[in-house]
Amino acid sequence: MGRTEDPDRVGRAQTYAGGPRLIANVGARLVRFALETAPGRFEQAQSFASADYPGIAEVCRAYLGTIAGPIPIHGVMALATPIEGDEVRLTNRDWRFSIEATRAELGLQTLLAVNDFMAMAMALPRLNAEHRRQIGGGNVSADGVIGLLGASSGLGISALIPRGGRWITLSSEGGHAAFSPANETEVTILRHAWKTWDHVSCERLISASGLVLIHEALSLAGDGAGVVAKTPSADEIIRLGKEGRDPLCVRVLECFCEMLGTQAANLAVTLNATGGVYVGSTIVRDLGDFLPRSGFRRAFERKGRFSAFAASVPTYMILTDQCSLLGAAQVLRNHLDDQAGSGVLLDRIRAEMGKLSPAERRVASLVLEQPRTVLNEPVAEIAAKADVSQPTVIRFCRSLGLQGLSDFKLKLASGLTGAVPVQRSQVRVDDNAGELVSKVLDNTSSAITRLRDELDSRAVDRAIELLANARRIELYGVGNSSVAALDGQHKFFRFSIPSNAYIDSHIQLMAAGMLGKGDVVVAISKSGNLPEILQAADAALEAGAGVIAITAAGSPLARRASVALEVNHQEQDAGYVSMVSRILHLLLIDILAVGVAMRRISVAGEGLGKADVDRELMSLQTRFEALISHAS
């Protein structure tokens, strides 16, 4: 596994078939944009002042309005803030936005958001001699872990871990670990910091504000004789120290570089970073030639019994300010490769590529590069995008053993649903109608996909067996759960099974006491903790009836039931009606109803007509196709 890419090879890389990709590095002061037209090839780079725009969508539209050529359909943003879910708030800029809503507003098929420091880490294997400078000795170990420190307004720490031919980033808050002094001067600096803070982290000293703090400490300790009393800014300390005109500022930079070297060595030992340790970000670039001449490497190798190990680990100074763009592009590339590589149908297309005609191969290439576009476009648009005739599109589908384009799209949607999970998006008070529609539907689609993946098929089979042989079916639900109970009564009654839904807790308890062996209760409860439902379930079990629970995993109702169909879904706000849970409960009733229909029609002598079953199956299939198509 190599550490850098040949720039000549990158320059010859094939242009992306799906068009250029939007890459953005969003900072507090500037937003840098570029289009990646091939792996590692960036064009039309521009920077925009963040203060000139009210939000992220506006600055993105401003850039997109200036570009020449095709508009990108895939994009990624590296942001100077933690990324936790769909809602993003910039740390040093009053911007707040939803990733999914922004994707829809910009008309993109894909929009990813990644922390800028993690993006910076992803760029490390792609850096060449122009992007980095080795400080001291040491040799890279192939497939070794790579460490990263970035000193600017704070101290970022991350790492790259090789796995399966790729790199995965290690998210870390290591900059907040306690600072440990390595010499008497650093003890003096730490004592000065202790006057203000009980806990002094590494970030407190190895950062822009740390430069100022070190200057204050050394000045008070007597190193600042003859120097102006006013403490200069971090930028001024770096400038004066590099010029060599201010002895105290020179001393501050020396202390800072040694602290950085010690922390880099700590990271190397902690991670066994035989792939090297990189230091970067604003301060490192501003230090320039001062860092290699300083005591950085001496401090790095001063590791006691592990000095020999530290001496074998190479250290690099990052020279480019484009790391976040490079790394963000790699994150997007990995995501799209994973998306294109997922799904049984897409795997079949790759396997059959050599057997297709040249025209059919153009359709196949379009599907592999833009599966979502193909899923949503009519046959005429697909043919135009692939530069083939409409009959060729149909022949392509049939070459895969499918009946036609509709059958192909259904299989494609099913595969993409598993490969491209939909994120849950928090609904906000200030969402417009479009954002509201998108978030509610996406949250429901995501929950359905999760239910499909987590549902215990053996429990479903046992529940169907109980219902298919039931003498009588009763469905209990209270409040929001009563909707699913009433829906179940309607479905099972059509199978000529005596069925009743009770939505009053008192009647449920009385009805349960009149049941007997061969009867089945379907008890529906989101929480599984409602005392009235639990009493009715106990009464039914005591009377000899079976109880099927549609409820939360591990709940009291699930533990009591003969069979538990567990639904693991937490609503976003307990104050709202359980909207998504209700949909999941209805879908489970549909699954049970179709299962009972198929079980009963297969039994010899059963009087249920096949036409009735076909109508039920068609209704269920239509609902699922609509939901799956949206999710993908």
pLDDT one-digit tens code per residue, 31-54: 999 999 988 889 999 999 999 999
Higher pLDDT, 608 or 353: 353
Q: Which residues, 6 or more positions from 336, have their beta carbon under 8 angstroms from its beta carbon?
A: 74, 110
Q: Which residues, 6 or more positions from 370, have their beta carbon under 8 angstroms from its beta carbon?
A: 18, 73, 109, 385
Q: Which residues, 6 or more positions from 613, have their beta carbon under 8 angstroms from its beta carbon?
A: 597, 598, 601
Query: With the CA atoms of 333, 335, 341 and 346 taken in that order, what torsion angle do they form, in degrees rounded to the nearest 10?
Result: -100
231's tokens: 């403490």
Q: What is the pLDDT of residue 308?
A: 95
Q: Per-residue pLDDT for 2 more than 80?
A: no
Q: What is the mean pLDDT of residues 548-572?
A: 87
Q: Per-residue pLDDT for 199 more than 60?
A: yes
Query: Measured between alpha carbons, how far is residue 74 from residues 18, 370, 446 in Å?
Result: 9, 10, 21
Q: What is the pLDDT of residue 429?
A: 66
Q: Which residues, 6 or more positions from 186, have their beta carbon under 8 angstroms from its beta carbon?
A: 255, 258, 259
Query: Measured between alpha carbons, how far is residue 260 from residues 291, 317, 438 in Å?
Result: 10, 12, 46
Is residue 602 very low, low, confident or very high in pLDDT (cuts 50, 70, 90)? Answer: low
Helices (H) and strands (E) in the chain, counts: 28, 18
Question: Would you list the DSSP string of 513-543?
Answer: HT--TTEEEEEE-SSS--HHHHHHHHHHHHT
pTM value surpassing 0.85: no
Q: Helix 405-419 vs helix 390-399: angle between axes, to the nearest 10 degrees?
A: 60
Q: Per-residue pLDDT for 518 more than 60?
A: yes
Sheet containing 499-502, strands listed edge to edge, beginning at the edge strand earlier in sequence: 499-502, 472-477, 519-524, 546-551, 563-566
Q: What percentage of the chain exceeds 70 in pLDDT?
A: 84
CA-based R_g, the chain, Å:
31
Characterize 266-283 residue by residue with b for buried, 16 or more Cβ atoms within 10 angstroms of its Cβ, and e for exposed: bbbeebebbbbbbbbbbb
Q: Per-residue pLDDT for 565 more than 90?
A: yes
* Structural contact between residues 349 and 396, judged by C-beta atoms closer than 8 angstroms: no
Strands 519-524, 546-551: pairing is parallel
Q: What percentage of the chain exceeds 90 in pLDDT?
A: 50
Q: What is the pLDDT of residue 387?
A: 92
Q: What is the pLDDT of residue 318?
A: 94
Q: What is the mean pLDDT of residues 531-543?
A: 94
Higher pLDDT, 193 or 400: 193
| Neighbour count for residue 628 (Cβ, 10 Å) | 20
Is residue 417 very low, low, confident or very high in pLDDT (cuts 50, 70, 90)? Answer: very low
The pLDDT tens digits for 425-480 are 556 666 677 667 766 776 777 678 777 767 888 889 999 999 999 999 999 999 88
Q: Per-residue pLDDT for 537 more than 80?
A: yes
d(CA 181, CA 416): 53
224's tokens: 């600042």
8 three-state secondary structure: helix
The pLDDT tens digits for 115-130 are 888 899 999 988 888 8
Q: What angle do CA 497, 499, 505 make, to 5 degrees?
A: 160
d(CA 299, CA 186): 12
Q: What is the pLDDT of residue 1?
A: 35
The pLDDT tens digits for 276-316 are 999 998 899 999 999 999 999 999 999 999 999 999 999 99
Task: Give which of 6, 282, 280 is closest to 126, Cα–Cα.
Answer: 6
* Structural contact between residues 166 and 160, judged by C-beta atoms closer than 8 angstroms: no
Label each residue of 32-84 as H, E or C. Answer: EEEEEEECCEEEEEEEEEHHHCCCHHHHHHHHHCCCCCCCCCEEEEEECCCCC
Find the range with the poorest average confidence among 291-305, 339-353, 358-372.
339-353
d(CA 588, CA 596): 12
Q: What is the pLDDT of residue 225?
A: 47
Q: Per-residue pLDDT for 223 more than 70?
A: no
| Neighbour count for residue 311 (Cβ, 10 Å) | 15
d(CA 13, CA 34): 17
Backbone φ and ψ for 43, nearest 5 degrees, come out as -135, 165
The pLDDT tens digits for 607-616 are 445 555 555 5
Strands 146-151, 21-26: pairing is unpaired
Q: What is the pLDDT of residue 322?
A: 85
Most confident of 376-380, 411-415, 511-515, 593-597: 511-515
Q: Per-residue pLDDT for 620 more than 60?
A: no
* Structural contact between residues 272 and 145, judged by C-beta atoms closer than 8 angstroms: yes
Find the range with the poorest average confidence among 79-88, 140-149, 495-504.
79-88
pLDDT averaged over every residue in the chain: 84
Is residue 167 very low, low, confident or very high in pLDDT (cuts 50, 70, 90)? Answer: confident
